[in-house]
Structure 1
């Protein structure tokens, strides 16, 4: 039997170690599943060609990079307003960046990193409709919102308890109902509404009323008790603001006319 030379043996061992190390890292990390919205222009949108766009997409991609995941290692999964907690609890996604307003009720089930954006609840109406100038006007109107969102709850409990509220599965469905005259207004965060109003084909069809009916602090949702991941995401968000990437993403996705506020301070953690 021919004994291989020492140099050849060393080379083989080096290659084997390098290969096994790469495979080991790939096996540990694999894909990073992130929950986003697929139907919110400017926030989270799956385009016809299969790519994704929106502010939450940019935030999630930046955070993923800081966690060690390149864009091709990200698996975006669609979430709806009423299933975000379930997807986190059952480990379907690692975290959720989907216009996810932080609330005490939600914090009973999941933890949040952030907040990373401040929006305000507003109304989208047909461009020629001037009958809604204040929240109380909704008491005689038909309003559309999305099942599981805090917007409809806020209207019914605080602002216009007599409003007729239609809750549908997605904002795109509400927009169709508004366009067809089945409802008088669509309510959610002004950032989401601005994205719909500015979407190609919707120009001059709708307008925002400019009513700041609540403060909505967007957070990144994650499984309750995962303080290590929360701290890493908070560090990534802090860096995104500091290096200018946050502001760049806001301007790119919401347009020059959107009046945004500075990034909110991160919540204090124990």
Structure 2
């Protein structure tokens, strides 16, 4: 059996060290797992071919970059509204950016960075409809919302008690019902509605009525007690606003006609 020369052995040892614990900082970083929505155009959408798009996606990528991760080191995982806290608690994701409204009940279970966006409950109607300009106009009309959402009930109880409500599993189903004249309007956050209206193939079909029936401050959720990550994300969000990337992402994802509020001041983790 041929014995390898000492120089060759040394080279193998050096190569092994290089590709293991003594690798680059990027290799040591590993993967950043981020929870986003997969089914909300303009917010978080998994498109054909596994490409991700949306405002929350752009925010997550910017934050990831500031945390030291390259784009190919960021792994997006699908979250639903009712499992965001669990995924954080069990370390399935490092943070969640998924139209995640900050409220006191949620703050008992997770910590938030931000807020980084302000949304309001609004109505989406067909572009040809001139009969619905405000929530009160929904009396004797048909309103669609997602099962389990409080948006439609808020309207029915306080603003349009004679409205009929159709609950469907998702916003995409509501949009189809609206396009097919099965309902007269759909309701949720204006950011979500604007994303659907601006999505490819929907241009010119729908319009927002410009209501502000609630105020939703979107935050980035992190595991309860992880103040270090919360502080770093807040710093990244401030930089994103300061260098113009935040405004560019808003305009890119929600359409030129979307009336958005300026970036909110960071109020969590301070």
Report Cα offsets for 1:95-128 as digits up to 9, x if no partner.
Answer: 1111111122222222211011112211001222
Conservation of the 8 A alpha-carbon contact between 2:38 and 2:45: yes
Cα separation, 2, equivalents of 1:76 and 1:46: 9
Cα separation, 2, equivalents of 1:156 and 1:84: 28
The residue aligned with 1:187 is 187
Conservation of the 8 A alpha-carbon contact between 1:81 and 1:148: no
Cα separation, 1, equivalents of 2:29 and 2:161: 48
Cα separation, 2, equivalents of 1:175 and 1:34: 27
1:33 aligns with 2:33: yes
The residue aligned with 2:61 is 61
Unmatched runs of 5 consecutive residues or more in structure 1: none
Conservation of the 8 A alpha-carbon contact between 2:43 and 2:195: yes
Conservation of the 8 A alpha-carbon contact between 1:44 and 1:52: yes
Number of equivalences: 268
The residue aligned with 2:155 is 155
Relative to structure 1, the CA distance from residue 151 to residue 27 in structure 2 (aligned partners, 3 Å threshold; closer, same or farther) is farther
Q: Secondary structure at the match of 1:210?
A: coil
Cα separation, 2, equivalents of 1:199 and 1:208: 14
Cα separation, 1, equivalents of 2:243 and 2:65: 14
The residue aligned with 2:46 is 46
Report Cα offsets for 1:73-97 as digits up to 9, x if no partner.
Answer: 1111122223322322333222111
Conservation of the 8 A alpha-carbon contact between 1:81 and 1:149: no
1:104 aligns with 2:104: yes
Cα separation, 2, equivalents of 1:136 and 1:113: 36
1:184 Cα offset (Å): 2.0
TM-score by length of 2: 0.86
Aligned-pair RMSD on alpha carbons? 2.9
Conservation of the 8 A alpha-carbon contact between 1:81 and 1:147: no
Relative to structure 1, the CA distance from residue 146 to residue 3 in structure 2 (aligned partners, 3 Å threshold; closer, same or farther) is same
Conservation of the 8 A alpha-carbon contact between 1:82 and 1:149: no
Conservation of the 8 A alpha-carbon contact between 2:144 and 2:174: yes
Cα separation, 2, equivalents of 1:247 and 1:184: 32
Relative to structure 1, the CA distance from residue 30 to residue 3 in structure 2 (aligned partners, 3 Å threshold; closer, same or farther) is closer
More displaced stretch, 188-197 vs 162-171: 162-171
Cα separation, 1, equivalents of 2:27 and 2:241: 32
The residue aligned with 2:132 is 132
Relative to structure 1, the CA distance from residue 125 to residue 154 in structure 2 (aligned partners, 3 Å threshold; closer, same or farther) is same
Relative to structure 1, the CA distance from residue 45 to residue 264 in structure 2 (aligned partners, 3 Å threshold; closer, same or farther) is same
Cα separation, 2, equivalents of 1:41 and 1:2: 59
More displaced stretch, 241-250 vs 84-93: 84-93
TM-score by length of 1: 0.86
Cα separation, 2, equivalents of 1:158 and 1:107: 27
The residue aligned with 2:116 is 116
Q: Secondary structure at the match of 1:82?
A: coil
Unmatched runs of 5 consecutive residues or more in structure 2: none
The residue aligned with 1:224 is 224
The residue aligned with 1:207 is 207
Cα separation, 2, equivalents of 1:73 and 1:139: 50
